Structure 1
Amino acid sequence: MNDTIHIVAATDNHYAILLAALVKSVEVNHHTPEPVVFTVIDDGISAGNRKKIAASVQGGRVSINWVNSKNLIPENIQLPLDNSAFPLTTYLRIFGPYAPAEASKVIYLDVDTIVLDDISKLWHTDLNNNLFAAVQDVQETVSCSWAGIPNYKELGIPPETKYFNAGVLLINAKRWRDEQIAGKVIQFLHENRKHINYADQYGLNGVLYNQWLQLDPQWNWFAFKEHQRPALIHFLDIKPIFKNYKSEPLFQKYFFEYLNQTPFKGTKLIAGNRRILKKIRTRIKKALMSLVKK
């Protein structure tokens, strides 16, 4: 099959550098005939970084389209102002299937991932009438004592229900749009705001439990777990660009192998306190926005 592979990712300027490594990793390891179109939901990426990311791919088999985040979210939709340190950018995942409006299927990838196998293998996974496919999270079930869905009992969700990680999703985009999934998830998040722990992932699991196909874990391999070469690495914890990175060293090595094939070549590791300051600023921003809203 020679159809176009649609990949969606979202980032602000803070993690734009991660996107360059991700795009390059997809290009290097894609060997089947399908063209790949990356739709990047741009939540404030600088012009300089956009230029570097665009220059990270060569040969024309992988192309990049830019969608301004402000043009993607309907005017009547308000993102929930939770109390977490997750940036509001993470909620853009919910609108990913709307970014390439013509696509009947999309792969959504968190910006803190790199792909080590041919992305076409994931693309051609049969969804078997499921709305989307994902990998089970490290939390495993909605009743996880330290995370999961805190109010699963009130919602009537069985405790053994599997909980998925939203960092890698293969989505039936047409159904997602037709069934107005984004609006349902946003409404759920507002109605259950005090229970939000993992931002949009909480909402997606709360609304879409038991509507997904379970993928092989290698397609969303968490970077703190050993593996010689999974299909896709997800840097869930501290990102590989920081000096205090503490996941598998081999995966950080892989990351920089791809980054150094882009205009970001030679980037030095960043002090860990930059990451902490970003989280503090995010919390303050949300608090101020909440006050303005009131």
Structure 2
Amino acid sequence: MKVNNNISIICASDNHYAILIVALLKSIDLNHKTDEHIDFHIIDDGIAKSFRKKLESIVDPSRITIKWFKSKEIVPTHITIPVDSSAFPLTAYMRVFSPYVVEEHVEKLIYLDVDTIVQDDISKLWNLSLGEYTVAAAQDVGKTVDCKWGGIANYAELGLTADTKYFNSGVLVVNPKKWKAEGISEKVIDALRIHKKYVQLADQYGLNVVLANKWLQLDPKWNWFAFNENENPSLVHFLDIKPIFKTYNSKEVYKDEFYRYLSLTPWENFKPISGNQRHIRKIFNKIKKAFIKL
């Protein structure tokens, strides 16, 4: 049987947020000190060809291989993503299908939201033992399923207690073989469809319903939210307004780090854009979903 010791990382983006991949990829590149080769998989939901070519120039292919996958090609044909009315882009649901991106012999993957930067050697997260767990994740801002604005509103109906821990889906360590064998993708999509009126935070709801009390808890430093202070986080997650916008409202030190990574790439002259574009994009996402429903 073929053995793959490469570190497998997956992210997903549309063209609007593709600039975030630049800082993420460069941060991984600069902070990776061990010998493992990295396979960096990008689920492409409409990223411009010119961007893709330029992105490939920022890393040494002998250390990091960039692999591209069209979003429409990784969703199994028997699965249809239910369309909600939120402003989350459909790209957000791609993490649910990330185990279908890697080759069959790959036994572990790291899924990262594009609005993250890695401040430590990614091999430290990679070498985490999942044991019997299918997924490892860090606890979300809301902490537990009874969180009013971002938990599982029908937790009691599902047989969960109010103090059941609730995880953030932006950083996941996954055993893809177990994920597929257990039909996690199908179960998450079913949960989103069946409990549609309770869904908050898109696929994160479905993942927490299906994996409730069945996930390994990561040290929060591996999914540190940018509005909180930490002298030495291993991974920073820009949960709120992204640093590409002038209206960015989290800690400045993390924004500075984001632009430090950009400065080492062909995007060194990128300047924050108007916050209005963020709102326009949200409106666009809602309209797009409305058309899909029709």
Partner of 1:61: 63
Following superposition, the deviation at residue 180 of structure 1 comes to 1.5
RMSD: 1.3
Partner of 2:33: 31
Once superposed, which parts of structure 1, at least 4 consecutive aligned residues long, lie more than 2 Å away? none
| Aligned 8 A contact 1:117 1:231 in 2 | yes
| Aligned 8 A contact 2:28 2:119 in 1 | yes
Match of 1:17 among 19, 36, 58: 19
Partner of 2:248: 245
Contiguous gaps of at least 5 residues in structure 1: none
Match of 1:44 among 27, 43, 46: 46
Deviates more, 1:259-268 or 1:89-98: 259-268
Give the fraction of aligned pairs with identical amino acids, expressed as a percent: 53
SS at match of 2:27: helix
Matched, 1:5 2:17: no
TM-score normalised to structure 2 length: 0.96
SS at match of 2:282: helix
Distance in 2 of aligned mates of 1:283 and 1:196: 16
1:37-70 deviation digits (Å, cap 9, x = unpaired): 0111111101011112211212520110001111
Work out the number of aligned pairs and report it: 291
Following superposition, the deviation at residue 126 of structure 1 comes to 1.2
TM-score normalised to structure 1 length: 0.96
Matched, 1:70 2:72: yes
1:150-171 deviation digits (Å, cap 9, x = unpaired): 1111111111100000000011
Following superposition, the deviation at residue 206 of structure 1 comes to 0.7
Partner of 1:259: 262
Distance in 2 of aligned mates of 1:58 and 1:36: 11
Match of 1:136 among 139, 160, 180: 139
Distance in 1 of aligned mates of 2:77 and 2:129: 35
Distance in 1 of aligned mates of 2:229 and 2:180: 37
Correspondences of 1:1-294 after superposition (within 5 Å): 3-58=5-60, 60-102=62-104, 103-290=106-293, 292=294
| Aligned 8 A contact 1:52 1:262 in 2 | no
**Matched residue type, 2:94:** L
| Aligned 8 A contact 2:149 2:200 in 1 | no
Contiguous gaps of at least 5 residues in structure 2: none
Distance in 2 of aligned mates of 1:143 and 1:100: 34
**Matched residue type, 2:181:** D
SS at match of 2:157: helix
Distance in 2 of aligned mates of 1:262 and 1:19: 12
Distance in 1 of aligned mates of 2:117 and 2:210: 28
